[in-house]
């Protein structure tokens, strides 16, 4: 059986530099910081930086039906509007280097543009115990229902960051009334699958399987990457 992670493909937005004073120095003019977190990622006692960058092109913003896009409030009036944002985003990891930073790693596929009605919400960006943790919530924005959650932990190897663990939860409210969580541990080479009834929260099953694929690098994660499981 093959499980495909829910990535979409779009034009890549590669870093424009390998060193700089801050996040904006690594990408073309106009990119903005959407979320950032500080923490030591290479055990040198210095604070490194993980950030989500957005291309910030106003031409790619479009007002749309309420609760389909990203809800924003006008600063003065407080009026709510919904925006479809077709700007590409990139996860950027910068390592402290003297007074500035050097490029540690990046991924320009894991974060979808905000335009997708069933797109993700950036729920978590943390650095803990030398790992970057990225949490996403996938939802039907029109109806306000969460149908999937994803969490990824990345750690630095000899040269690049790689996936240490991933947790994928999918929810089927209407057909099977089932919630399934897959926990991938690339250190123990195991995947645990837990299933429960969504409406009653009743436990249904738990299985363990061996992971067949090696831990992917941060840059490997994209539309063509997949996990094969020996189900």
Which pLDDT tens digit goes with each residue over 84-127? 777 888 899 999 998 999 999 998 888 876 655 545 577 899 99
Q: Name which residue leads in pLDDT, 51 or 221.
A: 51
Going by pLDDT thresholds of 50, 70 and 90, the confidence category of residue 1 is very low
Q: What is the pLDDT of residues 68-78, one digit of tens each?
A: 555 555 666 66
Q: State percent of the chain over pLDDT 90.
A: 36
Give the Cα separation of 228 and 194 in Å (integer). 17
Distance CA 123, CA 138 (A): 10
What is the structure's pLDDT at 73?
56
Assess contact for 179 and 167: CB atoms under 8 A.
no
For residues 1 and 3, what is the distance between their CA atoms, to the nearest angstrom? 7
How confident is residue 202, by pLDDT bands cut at 50, 70 and 90?
very high
pTM, entire model: 0.79
Domains of the chain, residue spans: 2-228
Between 4 and 22, name the one with better pLDDT: 22
pLDDT band (50, 70, 90) for residue 225: low
Report d(CA 178, CA 151) in Å as an integer.
19
159 has pLDDT over 70:
yes
Q: In the predicted model, is pLDDT for residue 21 greater than 80?
A: yes
Q: Token pair of 140, please?
A: 């039907």
The angle subtended at Cα 106 by Cα 100 and Cα 108, nearest 5°, is 135
Q: What value does the mean pLDDT take over residues 202-213?
A: 89
**Radius of gyration (Cα) for the chain, nearest Å?**
19
Q: What's the pLDDT tens digit per position in 129-147?
A: 999 999 988 776 566 677 8
Mean pLDDT of the chain: 80
Burial string for 14-31 (b: 16+ CB within 10 Å, else e) reads: ebeeeebeebeebbeeeb
C-alpha distances in Å from residue 38, one per residue of 51, 105, 166: 9, 15, 21
4 pLDDT band, cuts 50/70/90, is very low
**Which has the closest alpha carbon to 163: 222, 91, 95, 221?**
221
Please state, as a whole number, how many other Cβ atoms lie within 10 Å of the Cβ of residue 73. Answer: 10
């Amino acid at each position: 059986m093959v499980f495909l992670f829910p990535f979409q493909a779009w034009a890549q937005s590669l870093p424009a530099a390998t060193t700089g004073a801050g996040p904006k120095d690594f990408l073309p003019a106009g990119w903005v910081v959407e979320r950032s977190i500080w923490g030591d990622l290479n055990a040198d006692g210095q604070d490194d930086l993980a950030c989500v960058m957005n291309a910030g092109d106003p031409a790619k913003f479009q007002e749309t039906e309420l609760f389909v896009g990203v809800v924003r409030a006008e600063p003065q009036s407080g009026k709510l509007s919904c925006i479809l944002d077709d700007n590409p985003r990139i996860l950027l990891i910068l390592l402290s280097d003297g007074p500035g930073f050097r490029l540690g790693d990046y991924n320009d596929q894991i974060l979808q543009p905000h335009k997708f009605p069933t797109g993700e919400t950036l729920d978590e960006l943390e650095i803990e115990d030398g790992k970057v943790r990225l949490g996403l919530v996938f939802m039907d924005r029109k109806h306000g229902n969460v149908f999937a959650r994803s969490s990824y932990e990345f750690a630095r190897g000899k040269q690049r960051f790689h996936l240490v663990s991933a947790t994928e939860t999918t929810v089927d409210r209407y057909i099977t009334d089932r919630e399934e969580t897959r926990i991938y541990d690339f250190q123990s080479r195991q995947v645990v699958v837990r299933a429960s009834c969504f409406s009653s929260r009743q436990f249904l099953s738990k299985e363990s399987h061996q992971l067949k694929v090696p831990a992917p690098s941060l840059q490997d994660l994209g539309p063509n990457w997949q996990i094969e499981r020996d189900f």
